[in-house]
Amino acid sequence: MVTVTRGKVYVETSVISYLTARPSRDLITAAHQQITHEWWETYAPQYDLFVSQLVIQEAMAGDAQAATQRLQVLTDLPLLAMQEDVRTLARVLVQHGGLPAKAIEDALHIAVATIHGMNYLVTWNCKHIANATTRTAIADICQAQGYEPPVICTPEELLGE
């Protein structure tokens, strides 16, 4: 008998932003928002969702009303600790070329998800995180450090159909 366990998903800030933002007039952004809503309502409940203090900090930024909406969504999600090994792995990701120095926050998201053994890191940040080139470099660096990285994907890739 095979036991099926719920996957653990680290939800990066961009997903929360797309979930709570006013509908966009930009077609691609609007499509991402719709996919995010579908994932959140239908598929996210199949997983154990987690965030970090970094997600909370990023969600607090900007317009106060929008920040309140983002924080409301995050209220019941467990926080993963940002301990020293997370910061160390983030620095290694930047130092070894997995991400540019200006993307240290993105490296922290990847590191916290990796250190805490998440199965998935879900994001709409396709510039530095969910990017075919960076995903390979990130995986190689994490594995060289003795960690198994999460599958980095967008909500669309995690629709589960």
Q: What is the DSSP string of 54-70?
A: HHHHHHHSS-HHHHHHH
Q: Report how far residue 87's alpha carbon sits from residue 112's, in angstroms, rounded to the nearest whole number.
A: 8
* DSSP annotation string for 12-26: -HHHHHHHHSPPPSS
Q: Report how far residue 118's alpha carbon sits from residue 134's, in angstroms, rounded to the nearest whole number.
A: 18
Q: Which amino acid is at 126?
A: C
* Per-residue model confidence (pLDDT) at position 21: 92
For the stretch 24-62, pLDDT in tens is 999 999 999 999 999 999 999 999 999 999 999 999 999
Tokens of 17: 């932003």
Q: Which domains does the chain have, with CATH numbers?
A: 8-158 (3.40.50.1010)
pTM beyond 0.85: the answer is yes
* DSSP annotation string for 70-81: HHHHHTTSPEEP
CA atoms within 13 A on the CB side of 54: 22
